[in-house]
Amino acid sequence: MDIYSVKTFGDAGQFLAELDAQIKQLEDLVKAVGAELERLKPSLERYRRLQELLKRFSGGSSERSAPLEITGLQLYVDPNPMVKYEILDESYKHMVDLLSVLKKVREVAQSVIREGGLESLRITVQYKNGIPVKLIVTG
């Protein structure tokens, strides 16, 4: 499901400043989650080795932490290191992709705004899933 929103800025500079702040915040999050993934790697490897030993001796399959689901929200209580790593890794990859897209949008928007002389004009931005997809220039 796509989520659309719209925001109006008094001038293009405000839009670019907000986009810069969004990029900076996302860069900080990517850095923090990347560091957490690195901290998890040793316990993840120990857990994987233990799971392999248990499989070999018991002949069974590895047990996964099952989430509690509450109206579509999955709740994990003390998940094993593998589940925690997979959740964080999925988020990390998505944030890196989003960061790349936002930087490209910023580059294109800045170029269009500067070369078109639109800096002082009012701009309304349509966002799709948090990414600017349409600019409406008024004035």
Longest dimension (CA), the chain: 74
Q: With beta carbons less than 8 A apart as the criterion, state whether 92 and 30 touch.
A: yes
Mean per-residue pLDDT, 128-138: 95
Model confidence pLDDT, tens digit, residues 6-51: 999 999 999 999 999 999 999 999 999 999 999 999 999 999 898 8
In whole numbers, what is the pLDDT of the chain averaged over residues?
92
- The residue whose two tokens read 């960061």 is 99
